[in-house]
Structure 1
Amino acid sequence: MDNMRTIMDFEFDTSEVQNTHFHQNLEIVYVLEGSVEVQIEPETYNLKKGDFLLINANKRHSWRATEEKILLASFQINFTMLAEYMGTNQLLFWCNTTVDKNESYEQLKRVLDQMLNRSYDKEKEGAIYLNSIYYEAIYLLVAYFMIKADDVRMKENFTPDNSRIFEIQNYVQANYQKQLSLNDLAQKLYLSNAYLSKYIKKHFGLSFLEYVNNIRLFHAVDELVYSEKKITRIALDNGFPTTAAFNKAFKEIYNMTPSAYRSTVHKEENLNENKEAKQELDKRVKEYLTGKEPVADNTATRNMNLYVVDAKNTTEWEKPWDKIINMGNIDSLLNYDVQSQLLIMQKEIGFSYVRIYNIFMQDMYYENISGDNKYNFSRIDRGLDFLVEHNLKPYIELSFKPTDVNYTINSSVGDRYNEIIFHDRESYVEVMQAFSSHIANRYGVNEIESWYFELWKDDRLNMLDAKGWYFDCFEIGYHALKKISPKIKVGGAGFALGYDRYQYSILIQNWKTRSVRPDFISVYSYSYLLLQQDGVYFGKRSLDNSFVKNQLELFKDVLKAEDFMPDELHITEWNFTISNRNCINDSCAQGAYIVKTCIESIGEADMMGYWHGSDLHTEYYDSDAVLYGDNGLLTRDGIKKPSFYAFHFLKFLKKGLLGKTENALLTTDGRGVYTIACHNCKKFNYRYTMKDEKDIRVDDIDSLYEDTDSIHLKFQINNVENGNYVMRVFYVNEDNGSIQNIWKDMDYIGNLSKGEVEYMKRSANPKVDMRRITVEDNVLRIETKLKAHEIKVLDIHYQY
C-alpha cells in the first residue's frame, strides 16, 4: 500500500498447517474454501466454509486443514493504532461464528467480503477506499464484539490467577519502552522472583524476558516497516538496552537481522520466486471472488422491495406466543386487580396458560421432628380456582424462584430471596404426593392432564452434578404427578439461552444419566451473554436484535448433538431485558421488538411465555409513578402499553400463512380476509451497553438505536377475488397510542388524580384508519409506511 500505515490489512493463505505462534496484532481467520481446525491456547474450534473467528493479542494459536484444499483470508488489525484510538491497551474481543450466532456477524461478514472484493485494488485511490472499509469493520468489532472493562465478571470464576495475569499484561504493555526487570514486577505484585518467574512460564509459555521482548518486537517491527528510523534508535525507543540485544531477540523470532528484514520487506517482490504457487493462489482467489455477487455498499433500500405471495398457496401454522403469560407468585392470583388485568389479557390477546410459581409457602407448611408434616393447600386452591373457573390453564413452576425487583441483571431494588422450605428428600416426596392427590381430587384428572408442571434449575439444586438435588426433585415431582396420570406433562429446566451456553452439554449429559426424561424442555431468553476468555467469564448485554431466534437455534443444535430432543420446547420466559426498571419496556420500541421476535420464532418453539403480564408484579417503594420501566403489558393502573398492543395486533392473524419478511407476516382465512402484521423494529447500537438499564431516560431511547428511519413496505397478493375490499389499519407509534409519549406530554408528573389516569387510559389506544380497495386483475396491492418503532396490522376484508 505504498507504505501507507493502515489500521488493518489482509492476505490470502493456502497453507495446510500453521504452527503454533503468537503476535500482538489481532487476527481474523476467515475460511473461504475447505475447513480448518484452529487451536487457540487450550480451546479448539472447527471452522467450515463461511466461518470466521478473531484471535486476540498474544494468544498462542495454530491451525491445520481438515480438508485437502483450503483457502483462508487472514485479516490483521494493528493493535497499537487501535489501542491509541480506544485509549486503552485492554483490548479483548469475542467474535467466533462456530459457537455464537447473531445478526452482527452477518454485518461484519458483508464488510469482510467488501474488502476481499477489493483485494486487487490496494494502491492509491483503492487503498483509500479500503481504509474506509477497514474502519467500518473496526467499528462493528468495537460496537458489537468487544468485551468492555465494565462488563460484569462472574465472581465465582474470576480467580486470583485471572486477576494476576491481567496485572502482568497491563504492566508490561504500559512499560515495555523502559528497562523492565522481573524484580520490579515481583515487588509490585508482592511475590518472590523465583515464584513469579515460574508463574509467568506456566501461564504465558514464555520466560519473563521472552514475553517482554515479544511485546517490544511487535512495536519495533512496526517501525522497521513504516518509518525511516535508524535501527539503533528503534531498538532504544522500544526498550532494548543495546542494538545487539535487539538483533539477538529479533533473530530468534524472524531468523534474520532487523536490517535484513527491513530490506526484504522494502525490496520489490521477485516475480520469479514461487511463480507457479503465486499464479495458482491468484487463480483461486479470482475464482472465489467471481463466484460471489458484489457486495452492495449501500443497503439503505432493503426494505423497499416488493413482496409477492399467492392467495392460493398457504400453509398451516401455529402461534407459539399466545399460549403462556407469566403472572408471578401464586399469591398474585388472589389480588383483584391482577385478576381483572388477567381477564383483559385473556379476552383481547388470547393467552390460555398462566404461568405461576412459588406455590409452596413456609407459613402454610409444618414439619416436626417426628415426621408428621402438614401442608395447607387452601391458598393454592384459591388461585387455581380462579384460573379454572375462567377457562385458563395453570402452568405451574414447582421450585422456589427469587422474587427480586431487578435494576439490572446484577443489581436489585431489594432482597426478596426465597428460601427452599423442604430440607430433605422425604419431606419433598410427602408434600409432592399430597399436592398431586389434592389437585386430582379437586379438579379432576381430565383437567390437570391439560396443565404443565415445570422445575427450574435453581443453582441451589446443583444440576451440574449428575447426582445433584435437582434430579432428585424433578423425579420426585415427575413420579408423584405421573402416578395420577401418565398424560400429565412435567418438564424443565429453564436453561438460560446465551448465559448457560458453557453448561448446555454437561447439564444435558447429566440428565441423560438419569432414568427419567422430561416431557418438555424449557428455556429462558433474556438478551445477555456469558463469554469466556482465559478462564474468566464475562456477562454482557447482547445487541443481537434476533437474540431469541439465534440463541434458540444454537441450543437446539446441542440438543440434537446430545440426542436429547424433547417432544415440546417451551420458552417459558422471554424479553430483551430482565430489568424491571428499564423505560424501554414502556416504549413503542418494546412493541416493535415483540412483533419482530414473535414473527421470527414461528416454528422454532412450541410455546412462548412473555415476561410478564402486569406491572403489579413488581410494585415497590420506587414505583409510585404512572410508568416505572417494568416489563408488564399493563401498567399498575391497567393502562395498555405498546407491548400489550403488539400481542393484540398479532391476534388478528389468520390460520393460513402466506409468507413472512424481515418486517411483516401475511396471513389469510381463505375466505377473502387477508391480515398483515408489520413492525419497524430498530437495532440497538453500542450506546445501549454504555448505560446502566435503570439510568436510561425516555429522551435517550432514540439515541440507543442504529437509526430512526421510516420504512416503506410493498405487498402483492396474487389470485384474489376481484371486487371491493375494505382495509382497516390499526397502528401504534410515538404519536398515536403510546402511553409513554402521552405521559411525556404531561411532563412526567407523578401524583396524578384518578381522572387524569382515566384520561391517559382513554388516550392510550391505537389509531385506526380505513380505506376502500378495488381489485380488477385478481391482484391485491398494498403499500404502507412505518415510522421508527411503529407496529401496525392491516386487516383486509372482501365485500360481498
Structure 2
Amino acid sequence: MDIYTGMESRITRGEIQEKLHYQPETEVIFVIKGHIEATVSDKVYILNKNDVIVFNSGLLHGMNVDRDAIICVVCYSYNMLSDIVHKDDCLFYCNSVADDIHSYRNLREIFREIVYQHVVLPHKTQCLLHGLLYKLLDCLVENFLLEESWDSTKANDADARMRQIFKYIEQNFRYNASLSGLAESMYMSASTLSRFFKKQTGVYFAEYINQMRLKYAFRELLYTDNNITRIASDSGFSNLSVFNRTFREHYGMSPTDCRKIKKTDIQKKEKEEQQLLKELREIGGIYPEKQIPSGITVEADVTAGEIYDKKWNKTINVGSMNTLMLANIQYHLVYIVENLGFKYARLWNVFSKKMMITDGIHIGNYNYDKVDMVLDFMVSHKIIPFLDMGARPDTAVRTENIVLYFEDENVQFKSREAWEETVSAFIHHIVQRYGEPETSKWIFELGYDIVHDIRCYEDEDYNYINAFQHLYKTVKEAAPAAQVGGPMGIAGLKSGSVAEFLRQCKDIQCVPDFVSFILFPYRNVEKNGEVKYLRSTEPKMEKETLEEINALLLREDIESKIYISEWNSSISSRNYLNDSCFRAAYIVRTLTQLWDCVDMICVWMASDWVSNYFDTNGIANGGNGLLTKDTICKPAYHALSFMNSLGKYFISKGNNYIITSTDKKSYYILCFNY
C-alpha cells in the first residue's frame, strides 16, 4: 500500500491461499487469466476471466488462486476511502458472479486500462496510474456503494464491530492506539474486547498493532531513504530500541540488514514481474477498447461551402384525413411541426366513408363538416395541406407479405361524373373558405395505388390520365399557383407506365408540377400480375433508383420536380427496427445520398397512433411513427433533428459523415454508422 496515496495496484500470479481473515483495506480483484475461489463470510464464488469482486474492509473473506491464474489487485486504505467518500463505513456490493443487476462493463474497461498501463505503457511517473485508480474508485462509488441502511439488515454484529475496530486502528496505529480507549468508545470492557478481537483475527490487539506498525516500517525501509530513527518514530514505536527488538523478533534480522537484503530481493522480484508482464502481452485480451486504433481521417476545404436545400423537413406523412380528427394525432402533428420544422402535412383518402362528404352516387349537397374541422385545424396552426386525392385502403402490414388488417374505407364513386363533380365542388369549397392566396400554397396529388388497383371511380373505360386531367385543370382554374402532381408510382416498378403517363400529360397540356413516387428499400417483383416485395441488399439502391427517375424525366423532356411522397426504411408497421437507432442511421445515410437528386422527401410518418390496433399495447410496437403513442421521440426523430441542426453551407459528405458550416464559420459535423 502506498503510504502517501492510500492506494495500490499490482498484478500477481498464483498460487495464493488466503484463509478467512479480516483486513482494514478494501480490496478489488480482477481476474486476468484462469480462475480463483473467493469466500465472503460463508459463501464461496468461483471467478473466471474478466470477473470482478470487492473484499470490503472489516468483512470476513478469503481467497484461493490457482497456480496459473493471473489477477490484478487494487487496494484502498480505510482512511483514504473515508476521506474521499466522506463516510466512516464504505461498503460495496461488487461481485460479477452473483450480481445480475449492475453492469460491469465500465469496471472491466477501467481494469483493462490499469493492466494496460502496467504491461504496455509504463510511464515515468505514477500520475496516470493513480488517475486510473481514482477512476476505478469513482466507478465503484457511483454504481456499487451500499446504502447506510445495509448495515442493520445484512451485516452481522461481528462484522460491524470489526469495521469499527479497523477504523480506529487505521486512524491511530502510528500514534497512541490503546485497547482501553477503543473499548470505552465501543461500550465494552477491555477484556471482553480483547477476547473478541483474538477470536476474530487469531492475534491479540497489541500484537496486531505491532504488525501494522511493522508493515508500515517495512515499506519505509524499502521505498524511502529515511534513517532508522525517523522510521521508528513515524511507525508509532516509542523509541528506537523497542523498534529494533520488535523488528528482529518478527523478521529475524535488524532493520538495517533488512534494508540491504530486501532491496536485492526487490530487484529479483522486478525481474519476475517483467517476465509476467511479457506473458500478459502475449496472451492478449488486456487492451482497453478505446486504445484499439480505429476511425477515418477526412480532409475538407472549408472555404468551398455552398448553400443547399434541406429536402427532408418539408413534408411529414400523417395518414387518412379522418385520422387527423383524433386529438392525439393533432397533438403529435403540432409537436413535430414545431420541433422539426415541417411545412406540409400529407393526408389521403379525402373522400373516405368516415369523412361523409358524399355517398358516391348522388351529385350535390356535399357535407364538408368533418373536412372543415381537419383543414381549419391545419390552417390555424399554419400547417399547409398536402392532399392526395386518390384512393387507398386503410391497412397495416407486419412483414412484406403479411397483412394485419385491411379496410377499403373509400366511397365507391359509381360514375366518372359523380367523382368529377365531387372533386370540383371540393376544390371550389376550400378556395372559397380559405381564399386563393392560402390554397395556392397547397399541394394536390392524385396517387394511384398500383398494388391494389384502386380506382377513383367505376368505369369500364377507366383511365388514370382522365382523372388526373380533371384534378389538374380544376385546381389550376381555382388556385393557379397551387402544385398538382402524381402518379405516386412505385419507384423501380413499371417505369414504362410512368413514362406513358408523362407523355399523355404533355399531349393534353397537363404537365404535372411534380412527379411523385414512393421509395422503400425493396425490390419490387411482379409475378402473375401480383407485386411482391423483397428486401434489397444493394447499399445504394435508393440513390440508383432516383438516378433512373431523373434519367426518365430527362428522356421525356419533362422539367417537373421529383417528390418522394412516402419514404422509410421499412414498409412494416410492426418492425422493431422502426423504433431503433438502425432507422436513425438509415435516415441520415440515405438523406446524405439523395438530397442532390430529389426536390422533396416526405418522411413516413408522424405518429404510431395511425397504425394503432389491438396488438399495439406496448410502449413501442415497431410502428412507422417518429413518435410513439406516448409521445416518446424515437431515434428517427432525433436523426431528423440532427439533420436540421446542420449549418447553412454544405462542405463535404462521405459514407459516415456530413460537414457543414454557418455564416459565422461555425462547423457542424454529423457522423453516423450504418
Q: Is the 1:497–1:525 Cα contact (8 Å) retained in structure 2?
A: yes
Give the structure 2 partner of residue 602 of structure 1. 595
2:430 equivalent among 433, 439, 444: 439
- The root-mean-square deviation of aligned C-alpha atoms, in Å, is 2.7
* Cα separation, partners in 2 of 1:440 and 1:303, compared to 1, 3 Å: farther
Of 404, 408, 425 in structure 1, the residue corresponding to residue 399 of structure 2 is 408
Cross-structure match for 2:546: 552
CA contact (8 A) 2:574 2:622 kept: yes
Counterpart in 2 of 1:650? 643
CA contact (8 A) 2:607 2:629 kept: yes
1:340 partner letter: Y
**1:611-640: per-residue Cα shift (whole Å, max 9, x none)?**
111100100011111111111110011111
8 A contact 2:400–2:571 mirrored in 1: yes
Equivalent in the alignment of 1:495: 489
Amino acid at match of 2:482: I
Structure 2 Cα separation of the partners of residues 588 and 469 of structure 1:
43
1:617 aligned residue: 610
Amino acid at match of 1:659: S
- Per-residue CA distance 1:342-374 (angstroms, 9 max, x = gap): 1221122111110011111335244597x5432
In the alignment, structure 1 segments of 5+ residues that lack a partner are: 1-300, 682-800
In structure 2, do the counterparts of structure 1 residues 339 and 524 end up closer, same or farther at CA, with 3 Å as the change threshold? Answer: same
1:578 aligns with 2:580: no
Distance of 2:412 and 2:612 partners within structure 1: 25
Query: Could you tell me which amino acid in structure 2 is paired with residue 317 of structure 1?
Result: Y
Paired residue secondary structure (2:298): strand
Deviation, structure 1 residue 479: 1.6
Among 649, 663, 667, which residue is 1:670 paired with? 663
The Cα of 1:394 is off from its aligned counterpart by 0.7
Instruction: Report whether the alignment pairs 1:541 with 2:532.
Output: no
Distance, in Å, in 1 between the alignment partners of 2:311 and 2:468 is 25
What is the identity, as a one-letter code, of the residue corresponding to 1:573?
A: E
Q: Is the 8 A contact 1:405 1:580 kept in 2?
A: yes
Aligned residue type for 1:460: I
Q: Is the 8 A contact 2:657 2:671 kept in 1?
A: yes
Are 1:480 and 2:474 matched, yes or no? yes
2:409 maps to 1:418:
yes
Q: What does residue 528 of structure 1 align with?
A: 522
Residues 1:456 and 2:456 are matched in the alignment = no
Q: Corresponding residue for 2:509?
A: 515
Match of 1:318 in 2: 309
What is the CA-CA distance between 1:467 and the residue it aligns to? 6.9
Letter in 1 for 2:321: I
Q: 2:351 aligns with which of 360, 380, 386?
A: 360
2:396 maps to 1:427: no
* Letter of the 1:547 counterpart: M
Distance 2:479 2:530 in 1: 46
Deviation at 1:408, TM superposition (A): 2.3
Deviation at 1:413, TM superposition (A): 0.7
With normalisation by structure 2, the TM-score equals 0.53
Measure, in 1, the Cα distance between the counterparts of 2:388 and 2:374. Answer: 14
Is the contact made by 1:325 and 1:355 (CA closer than 8 Å) also made in structure 2?
yes
Unaligned runs of 5+ in 2: 1-291
Q: CA deviation at 1:501?
A: 4.2
Corresponding position of 2:557 = 563
The answer to whether the aligner puts 1:306 opposite 2:268 as a matched pair is: no
Residue 469 in 1 paired to residue 463 in 2?
Answer: yes
2:464 partner letter? Y
Answering whether residue 633 of structure 2 is matched by residue 633 of structure 1, we say no
CA contact (8 A) 1:327 1:614 kept: yes
Which residue, out of 356, 381, 385, partners 1:394?
Answer: 385
Amino acid at match of 1:550: E
- State the SS of the aligned residue for 1:515: coil
Judged with a 3 Å threshold, the aligned counterparts in structure 2 of structure 1 residues 625 and 650 are, in CA distance, closer, same or farther, namely same
Q: How does 1:327-346 map onto structure 2 within 5 Å?
A: 327-346=318-337
Q: Partners in 2 of 1:341 and 1:411 — Cα distance? A: 28
Cα distance, 1:528–1:499 mapped onto 2, change above 3 Å: farther
CA contact (8 A) 1:498 1:528 kept: no
Structure (1/2) with the larger helix percentage: 2
Shift of residue 341, structure 1, vs aligned partner: 1.3
1 CA distance for matches of 2:321 and 2:360?
A: 25
Aligned to 1:40: none
Q: Paired residue for 2:582, among 576, 589, 593?
A: 589
Distance in structure 2 (CA, Å) of the matches to 1:314 and 1:585: 33
* 1:658-702 deviation per Cα after TM superposition (whole angstroms, max 9, x unaligned): 111111111111203211112101xxxxxxxxxxxxxxxxxxxxx
Contact 2:484-2:514 within 8 A present in 1 as well: yes
**CA pair 591-538 structure 1, distance change in 2 beyond 3 A:** closer
Indicate conservation of the 8 Å contact 2:360/2:411, yes or no.
Answer: no
Name the structure 1 match of 2:366: 375
Q: TM-score, normalised by structure 1?
A: 0.45
Counterpart residue number, 1:350: 341
Q: CA 1:569/1:537 → structure 2, altered by over 3 Å: closer, same or farther?
A: closer
Q: Deviations over 1:183-214 (max 9, x none)?
A: xxxxxxxxxxxxxxxxxxxxxxxxxxxxxxxx
1:658 is aligned with what amino acid? I
Q: Distance between the aligned counterparts of 1:368 and 1:657, measured in 2? A: 50
| CA–CA distance in structure 2, aligned partners of residues 499 and 561 of structure 1 | 17
Shift of 1:559: 2.0
Distance 2:546 2:429 in 1: 36
Question: Is the Cα contact below 8 Å between 1:501 and 1:530 reproduced in 2?
Answer: no
Equivalent-residue separation in structure 2 for 1:493 and 1:415 (angstroms) = 22
Following superposition, the deviation at residue 447 of structure 1 comes to 0.8
Matched letter for residue 347 of structure 1:
E
Cα 1:365–1:447 shift into 2, 3 Å: closer
Name the CA shift for 1:664/1:481 in 2 (closer, same or farther; >3 Å).
Answer: same
Tell me the amino acid that sits aligned with residue 527 of structure 1: P
Call closer, same or farther: CA 1:315–1:556 in 2, change over 3 Å: same
* 1:136-285 superposed matches below 5 A: none
Aligned mates of 2:367, 2:584 — CA distance in 1: 41
Q: Distance in 1 between matches of 2:372 and 2:339?
A: 26
Partners in 2 of 1:483 and 1:674 — Cα distance? 47
The amino acid that maps onto 1:496 is I
**Cα separation, 2, equivalents of 1:461 and 1:634:** 32
Deviations 1:194-236 (A, max 9, x none): xxxxxxxxxxxxxxxxxxxxxxxxxxxxxxxxxxxxxxxxxxx
* Residues 352 and 538 (structure 1), Cα distance of their counterparts in 2 relative to 1, 3 Å cut: closer
> How many residues are treated as equivalent by the alignment?
378
Determine the C-alpha separation between the residues in 2 that align with 1:424 and 1:649. Answer: 49
Deviation at 1:409, TM superposition (A): 3.1
Q: Distance in 2 between matches of 1:467 and 1:662?
A: 49
Q: Does structure 2 retain, via aligned residues, the 8 Å contact 1:466–1:510?
A: no
